Chain A
Amino acid sequence: MQKKKLVEMYRMMLLIRRFEERAAQMYGMQKITGFCHLYIGQEAVGVGAIAALRPDDYFISAYRDHGHILAKGTDPKPVMAELFGKATGISKGKGGSMHLFDVEKGYMGGHGIVAGQIPLATGMGFAIKYKKEDKVVVCSFGEGAVHQGSFHESLNLAKLWKLPVIYLIENNRYGMGTPLERASAIWDLSQKAESYDMARATVDGMDVLKVYDVVAEAADRARKNGEPTLIEARTYRFRGHSMSDPVHSHYRTKEEVEEQKKKDPLIIIKDKLLKDKVLTPATVKELEAEIKKIVLESADFAENSPVPPLEAVYEDVYAP
């Protein structure tokens, strides 16, 4: 892989991490309200997957979506402003943390009902085939979503109709406070693809390069043959389910979280790039400084933006 691309992936993971650390602070200061789900710990999955796509490919995901929209290339300013509920937000302050969208960048949201976006991704795949376009869709969801009917209905349709969709399970081990072993009859989640005779893969979701490779391969298969793929990326969230859930409560121990943090995806890629001399300690420092500036600017932008005018409440209910 090109050096530039490697650095860009690291830089994006760093941006997402620092952006969300700032968002968490802002949440503490009540600048951000409602449900806010941090992606910290899972950055390698979204960044690796999106790096393997073309800019006009689609990415759609659930409510843990800050990292995805940033990775798809959206300016952090309107993203932070959306979290703040400001008029300059990417969804004009109508969506919030769970409903970020950037259609121009191919980021299709930001969906709050577990597994609700999976049929949407399948429909985008259908449209790509209908219009004979050369695009693919990546649909990200948590491991909690694989028990929903919409997941299974979608996989069947995608395989039946040969749709260019990559279903990406971001298995962070817990559906809110319920560990996988208390929710799933099987451990190896990509096995579910076998029911639909679909290609499948399991990947270490803490290693951005491995995620990149497996998604690139699936994208190739989707583009060339219209074959969908089910990928399970094994990852871990370092923070609580949402801001109201402590990092370690009754459902997981502090020891477990600390153990998992040894596999921090940011450290894994940074160490590799330092070892391979793609980065030097000096360039890492420069990147940190650049990212810090971007994040601070996004928070300032959000802070200084106006709230939506009350007239906006009736806008965009219906299209003209």
Chain B
Amino acid sequence: MEGNSLRNWKIHLFVLILVCVTEFIGVKTFNIGIGAIALFPMLYALIIGAIISLPSLKILKMKEMNVAANILGISFMLFVAKLGMLMGPSLPKIFDAGISLGLQEVGHFAGTILLGLPIALLLGMKREAVGATFSIDREPNLAIIAEKYGSDSPEGRGALGVYVCGTLFGALYLSVLASFLAQTGWFHPISLAMGAGVGSGSMMAAMSGALAVIFPESAKDIAVFAGAANLITTILGTYICVFFSLPLTNYLYKKFEPILGRKSKKDQMKNIGA
């Protein structure tokens, strides 16, 4: 994050216009048969912003997109401060939910491995699967993998692949998934809000936004508990990934690769570079 590059008026101006236009459009819900799809300003801003940034349109330079990515991290801090200020008065309620709040972190850390690793092995991935599924592969997780295996290792490529997909589509995908799960009626809004604390700024913001649109009467609770869960995920993140997630993924890989993995030479050839 080089200081000077943050003063990019073109980027800030685009964001100002995007924010005003998208907030003006407001929330729109569409019924598509299996349920309503809730569209809200954050999503429009994300999608229109993405279209503006398409390299073929030549509106933004690569340098400007990198600046936007840097400012994204900084803008998340203001959001976090606002969530913290909602948490202070709700502390008794947070402690009241303490057991669930603590336990669901196991879900955050184990969820990527338990669901991801078997499917990765079934698809025929080899060591890439370890890097891809041991965590949600944001920047701190990439650093852990790079340090242990090197960025150019199969593990490093797996982690980088999920990182790239997450950066591009994570927020959009998770907010759609959040609105879908919210409408099943299976989960309490606070359970979903805790689930939204995945440990990535833009994803958490988009998910809590989607949930708040569907449960407007619980909007404040959603912000509080998504914020609290995200905070815990962030604090524990590096330690859990080094001492629990990575060893567990490696252990499960050794155990299940011979059972679920594909063995033919042809498949292995195909997977190089996957």
Are A and B co-members of a single complex?
no
Measured CB to CB, the residues of A under 8 A from B are none
Measured CB to CB, the residues of B under 8 A from A are none
